[in-house]
Amino acid sequence: MSQGGYRRPHRWAWWMERPGYMRFMIRELTSFFMAGYLVVFLVTLSKVGAGDAAFAEWVDALSGPGWVAAHVVALLAAVWHAVTFFGAVPQAMPIFLGERRLSAPIAMIVMGYGPWLTVSAVVVWWILR
């Protein structure tokens, strides 16, 4: 090949070679499920706009076993995305207080789990109140 030089041959199943690669790929696949879920969320919003009867009918459909199972998968994907995302915060965005670097667990709580818990609690409280 005249351009690019040597390229390491790249099997499509390269991610099955090591557990670390597998974890990476599982994390990447959460994005497919989250994108699918966002479409479901948009449909839900469009049903609110379509009126009370359309929304009630849609919510009724959501209580079916298929949709509940899909939501369980979506929840696992979304939680796994959040956990791995917040887990990377201390490396990706180190916070310094003067000369001292904020320790990893504290950075994860301040920059990740704390806001996540707050947002989730507010959303759930609003619906259940």
Partner 1 sequence: MSGSDGRGGGRRARHSGEAFWWALFSAGGVMAALFVPAFVVVTGFLLPAGDPSVAAARAEAFGQAVGCWPVKIALLGVIALSLFHCAHRIRHTLMDFGLRRYSGLLKVPCYGGALAASLWAAWVLWGIAP
- The identity of residue 44, as a single letter, is T
Near partner 1 by CB under 8 A: residue from 49, 53, 66, 99: 49
Contact 14, 21 (CB under 8 A): yes
Near partner 1 by CB under 8 A: residue from 56, 104, 106, 110: 56
| 77: exposed, middle or buried (Cβ count in 10 Å: 0-12, 13-18, 19+) | buried
Can residue 25 be called a binding residue for partner 1 (CB under 8 A)?
yes
CA angle 58, 62, 76 (to 5 degrees): 140
Q: Which residues would be at the binding site for partner 1 (CB under 8 A)?
A: 10, 12, 14-15, 25, 28-29, 31-32, 34-35, 37-42, 44-46, 48-49, 52, 55-56, 59-60, 62-63, 67-68, 70-72, 74-75, 78-79, 81-82, 85-86, 112, 115-116, 119-120, 123-124, 126-129
